[in-house]
Amino acid sequence: MEPLRKVSLAEKFALFDDAWNPRVVGAWDGQQVKLAKFRGEFIWHHHEHEDEVFFVVRGAVRMGLRDPEERDMLLQEGELLIVPRGVEHKPAAEGEEAWVMMLESAGTLNTGNVRGERTRDTLERI
């Protein structure tokens, strides 16, 4: 077993600058802890089989939700949202930049059902 290492979110976020490119910082029980910087808007997508947890570490995130009953949701620092499988969503930074910790099954693709230029098939482990 590899030695236990603690993970400082601030240290890890300092290691990269590009937006919408999640890094993996830890794994447990088939799940992964991913960190990403959000700038501007992402794309509409959903995940067929995976729920996703978004936790705002810095800044704020506007989660677009298509269902008119849900409306957009504004997430501030220290707030989290669980987006269940099948629910269309479009994350966006509210303001200049947001730092987000995501918790999800290891195989979850960042763009879900929508393959395109923003799809990241392999994620860097940092």
Grouping H, G, I as helix, E, B as strand and the rest as coil, residue 84 is: coil
x/- track of binding to a second copy for residues 75-104 (CB under 8 A): xx-xxxxxxx--x---------------xx
Phi-psi region of 11 (alpha: psi -120 to 50; beta: other; left: phi over 0): alpha
x/- track of binding to a second copy for residues 31-70 (CB under 8 A): x-x----------------xxxx---x-------x---xx
Q: From the list 43, 88, 94, 105, which residue makes contact with a second copy (rule: CB under 8 A)? A: 105
Rule CB under 8 A: say whether 9 interacts with a second copy.
yes
Q: Which is nearer to a second copy, 106 or 116 (CB)?
A: 106
Q: Which is nearer to a second copy, 18 or 29 (CB)?
A: 29
- Angle (CA) 21 96 123, round 5°: 5
Residue type, 23: R
Burial readout 98-107 (b: 16 or more C-beta within 10 A, e: otherwise) = bbbbbbbeee
Structure token pair of residue 83: 């987006």
Residue 37 has a CB neighbour count (10 Å cut-off) of 21
Q: Which residues lie near a second copy (CB under 8 A)? A: 1, 3-10, 26-29, 31, 33, 50-53, 57, 65, 69-70, 73, 75-76, 78-84, 87, 103-105
